[in-house]
A and B are shown apart, each in its own frame.
Chain A
Amino acid sequence: MIGPLTQVFRALVFVLIGLILCGIIFEFAGYSAWLMFQSIAEGAFLSARAWQNSLRWALPLFLTATGVVISFRCGFFNIGAQGQFYMGAIAATFVVDGLTGYPPALVIPLTFLAGIVGGAVWALWPGLLRVRSGTDEVITTLMGNFLAGLFLVYVTSGPLKDPSGTGQAASSRPVEAIYRIGAANSLSPAIIAICVLVGIGAWVLVNRTSFGVLSSLAGRNPIMVVWQGARLSRLGLAGFVLGGALAGLAGTIEVMGPIGRLSSGMLPTHGFTAILIALVANLSILATAFVSVFFGGLAAAGLYLPVLAGLPAAAIDIINAAIALFITARAWPKRLTNLFRSRRSAA
């Protein structure tokens, strides 16, 4: 049996291949690959300031990725983290905006509750469709992402529109300073505390409860747990709802902390990066923490690329896509060989 960290190390080898491939492509496109890697390293990890930046991006990603891990372990490919992240952020903004003037001790918990519920609800309906009528959750959650994205455009230019806004993107009024849990684009003890608590809770849930064992069995062979008497719909819905709730929590944190407002089209790849993290981490909570820091670093470095390497910031998206390609390429042959192995032993 290989430990989860060894598996992550193996996955990181594929990440490395993805990076090298991108380096080659950029080199051919006329950029300096060496300069690119250098600026990624500097922007992500080579100074205290860089670390702070990396963690600012890593922590919300960690929350969403943890939710993805829980959902995937149950065997459901809930790829709607992005939409659930948006819905959490939207619900939170409605509450914090609507309750402006009330004491923070009331407003902040209610905002978080709303954000968590918003994300959870956005995962609940694809979950219900899945367990009640077998609707493919990949389709529904993917469509849910688009709906949530468009809803975000609507609320930021409609009900929650900041009338004084002059920026390119429509956005809500900034969250009042007394309700913020962190300054603009920075870390705060509150966010770190939330992530540590969620991390410990998720680790216990996955590794130290009946739910953890049964959901992992159900994820690998749902038929077997049904014959054991498990209610698959319950395990599955729990996975969906927890995944949505954590993405919603991440959305709330962005609104209440680093970003400080809701804006149209904010962090459009957050949920997908979280899925990538979960896959690289091989659905282990502990590994998710480390992998999140790595991808947080990439996100932070994205801001440096235009300055140092003259690359567009979107280069980070290309890098992420290349990594996604290699990670799935790694995952598939293994699954296929497993399939053939079970076929043969059945024959």
Chain B
Amino acid sequence: MTSGPNAIECRGVSVEYGDVKALIDVSVGFAPRQIHAVVGQNGAGKTTFARVAAGIVQPVRGTLAIGGREVPVGSVGAARAAGIELVHQSFALPPSFTVAEAMEFGAASGRGVFTRGELQRRWRRHLESLGVTVSPRERIRDLPVETQQAVEIARALVTDAKVLILDEPTAVLSPSGIDNLFARLRVMQANGVTILLILHKIREVLSVAETVTVLRGGRLIEGPIPTAETDAGHLASAIIGSGLESLSTIDREALVGADDEPEHEATTPAMAAERSVPVLELRGVSTRADTEGPALRDISLAVGRGEIVGVAGVEGNGQRTLVRAVADLADLARGAIVLNGDDVTRRPLVERRASGLRVIPFERNTEGLSLSSPLWENWSARTLLLGGLLNLINPARLRRDCDDSLKTWDVRFSSSSQLAGSLSGGNAQKVILAREIDGTATLIIAAQPTRGLDVGATAFVWRALREAKARGCGILLISSDLDELFDISDRVVVMLSGRISGEFRPPYHLGEVGAAMTGAGR
């Protein structure tokens, strides 16, 4: 099956971002005309590896050969000329372009002057040949996310690409979208393209790839090994590594998406929750349209005491609006929001917080923390807002309290006066947890609380949420990681186009939840 030189060959590649070593002496080769997977945790160096191969990142050491011929490292032009195309994790097409314009933008050849109709004619056939059903007239921003990705892949193939690298292509897709993507990749493989997939779910690796390569902490752990010769358990250990034996099996599997249908221990459905007053109740909530995402349409949802309600859905289906509505940051058109039995629809966020609402926002570095402010200011903001603006404070005491609190939350820091931006992602998230999860919290909105965190920090966040739940907190967990939701939620609701399209209780079935995420089967 393997013949000729490797499609991509890296030798001794090391990449450093300042003090951070992103890749350490990685040597690996990928055979042509196969689908290869590169797996690892967040921060293992997967994306950096993809960027080195595509010439975007300049390694400090190492060489790159494409199809047996060495190409200069750190040159996008050279890599593209040699036939490498990269589809980015976050899409890079200009939202205001039409599909045809985006295609032309990717193609290096062009006369420079053309009519719109000419462009559309030129690219319609290309799209059809790839099985992408989209009008070249449509604007990128109006396309559903799965079509956007298909267009992005089509754009990568406008030149005669021999190697296509896709960085976490499944992160934005529903389960059925993932199946479609994989089918499309197999067709391209049959046409002679070598495909390199950056993934972090073992389940997906086993279903699509022929070989798998594991990175951990910037080092090559193993690979490429044929997927036929390995199994989920082995890969999970390789990805996570040692040192996390304390994790329960179920958390371990959730972290890497190891099983097809995870066996769940019988989570006792929060029975008390249904008898007592819910900590959060949304009654027929609709919001006015704004630029930040789809409006909510008639959402009714309750979170009981000691209950974790998961919110699933393809990103951009109103999850953000839901959080903003609860936090009084979106404009309600209809409906009521009830916290602990009190109607707070017309009350500002500061009053909602006073009655126990806590928010771990989506964007840790902008909504959660002020990176250029000291830790103690970030940490004390919540409590300061409970009092008047002219209340006198004692900064020395706040710094001391902050020190104590951050220590109990296991934050690695040297001084509470250091800037929040000097912490790693996991530590920064722990600062937010330290601020938001306190004894008086009754409802915690956790929006993507583990995104971008390594395994240890992810497990830490899960433990914190479970402990808060044990104290009687209600928790609304928004996540795009179904394994995470299935692992720790008592109940999962699915959002689609601003509505709740389904509600599920354990044992969860991926297929059913996936159907609700895409609107299939209804």
Q: Do A and B come from one complex?
A: yes
Q: Point out residues on A near B: beta carbons under 8 Å.
A: 1, 204-205, 207-214, 216-217, 220-221, 223-231, 234-235, 238, 338, 341-342, 344-346
Q: Is the CB of A230 within 8 A of B421?
A: no
Q: Is the CB of A229 within 8 A of B415?
A: no
Distance in angstroms between the alpha carbons of A213 and B372 in the assembled complex: 13
Q: Is the CB of A345 within 8 A of B385?
A: no
Shortest Cβ distance from A342 into B: residue? B371
Q: Contacts A1-B415, A208-B393 known; A224 to B350 CB distance under 8 Å?
A: no
| Cβ of B266 under 8 Å from chain A | no
Q: Is the CB of A338 within 8 A of B421?
A: yes
A contact residues around B394 at 8 Å (CB): 208
Distance in angstroms between the alpha carbons of A346 and B452 in the assembled complex: 9
Shortest Cβ distance from B372 into A: residue? A220
Distance in angstroms between the alpha carbons of A69 and B450 in the assembled complex: 38
Can you give 21 A-B contacts (C-beta < 8 A)? A204-B392, A208-B394, A209-B391, A212-B393, A216-B373, A217-B381, A220-B373, A221-B366, A221-B371, A221-B373, A223-B366, A224-B366, A224-B368, A225-B370, A225-B381, A228-B353, A228-B385, A229-B349, A238-B389, A342-B371, A345-B425
| Cβ of B85 under 8 Å from chain A | no
Q: Contacts A213-B384, A216-B373, A344-B17 known; A229 to B392 CB distance under 8 Å?
A: no
Determine which of A212, A223, A231, A235 lies in contact with B350 in the assembled complex, contact meaning CB atoms within 8 Å: A231
Distance in angstroms between the alpha carbons of A211 and B392 in the assembled complex: 9
Distance in angstroms between the alpha carbons of A15 and B387 in the assembled complex: 41
Known contacts A225-B381, A228-B382, A228-B385; 15 additional CB pairs below 8 A are A1-B417, A207-B395, A208-B393, A210-B384, A210-B387, A213-B395, A216-B373, A217-B370, A220-B371, A221-B370, A224-B378, A229-B353, A230-B385, A342-B421, A345-B365
| Cβ of B377 under 8 Å from chain A | yes
Shortest Cβ distance from A338 into B: residue? B372
B contact residues around A211 at 8 Å (CB): 389-390
| Cβ of B232 under 8 Å from chain A | no
Q: Is the CB of A221 within 8 A of B372?
A: yes
Shortest Cβ distance from B388 into A: residue? A210
Shortest Cβ distance from B424 into A: residue? A345
Q: Is the CB of A210 within 8 A of B393?
A: yes
Q: Is the CB of A227 within 8 A of B390?
A: no
Distance (Å) between the CB of A342 and the closest chain B CB?
A: 5
Distance in angstroms between the alpha carbons of A341 and B419 in the assembled complex: 12
Q: Is the CB of A345 within 8 A of B381?
A: no
A contact residues around B361 at 8 Å (CB): 227
Q: Contacts A1-B417, A208-B395 known; A224 to B369 CB distance under 8 Å?
A: yes
Q: Is the CB of B350 within 8 A of A216?
A: no
B contact residues around A344 at 8 Å (CB): 17
| Cβ of B293 under 8 Å from chain A | no
B contact residues around A338 at 8 Å (CB): 371-372, 421
| Cβ of B348 under 8 Å from chain A | yes
| Cβ of B418 under 8 Å from chain A | yes
Shortest Cβ distance from A1 into B: residue? B417
Q: Which one of B329, B371, B392 has the greatest number of beta carbons of chain A within 10 Å? A: B371
Q: Is the CB of B380 within 8 A of A213?
A: yes
B contact residues around A208 at 8 Å (CB): 392-395
Q: Which residues in window 390-428 of B have CB below 8 A to A?
A: 390-395, 415, 417-418, 421, 425
Shortest Cβ distance from B352 into A: residue? A229
B contact residues around A217 at 8 Å (CB): 370, 373, 377-378, 381
| Cβ of B199 under 8 Å from chain A | no
B contact residues around A341 at 8 Å (CB): 421
Distance (Å) between the CB of A226 and the closest chain B CB?
A: 7
Distance in angstroms between the alpha carbons of A328 and B56 in the assembled complex: 33
Distance in angstroms between the alpha carbons of A210 and B369 in the assembled complex: 17
Q: Is the CB of B370 within 8 A of A227?
A: no
B contact residues around A345 at 8 Å (CB): 365, 371, 421, 425
Distance (Å) between the CB of B227 and the closest chain A CB?
A: 29
Q: Which residues in window 333-388 of B have CB below 8 A to A?
A: 348-350, 352-353, 359, 361, 363, 365-374, 377-378, 380-382, 384-385, 387-388
Distance (Å) between the CB of A200 and the closest chain B CB?
A: 14
Distance (Å) between the CB of B373 and the closest chain A CB?
A: 5
| Cβ of B254 under 8 Å from chain A | no
| Cβ of B482 under 8 Å from chain A | no
Q: Is the CB of A209 within 8 A of B381?
A: no
| Cβ of B197 under 8 Å from chain A | no
A contact residues around B390 at 8 Å (CB): 205, 209-211
Distance in angstroms between the alpha carbons of A226 and B380 in the assembled complex: 14
| Cβ of B327 under 8 Å from chain A | yes
Q: Is the CB of B372 within 8 A of A227?
A: no
Determine which of A1, A213, A231 lies in contact with B381 in the assembled complex, contact meaning CB atoms within 8 Å: A213
A contact residues around B393 at 8 Å (CB): 208-210, 212-213
Closest 9 CB pairs of A and B: A221-B370, A229-B350, A229-B349, A210-B384, A1-B417, A211-B389, A227-B367, A220-B372, A224-B370
Shortest Cβ distance from A235 into B: residue? B389
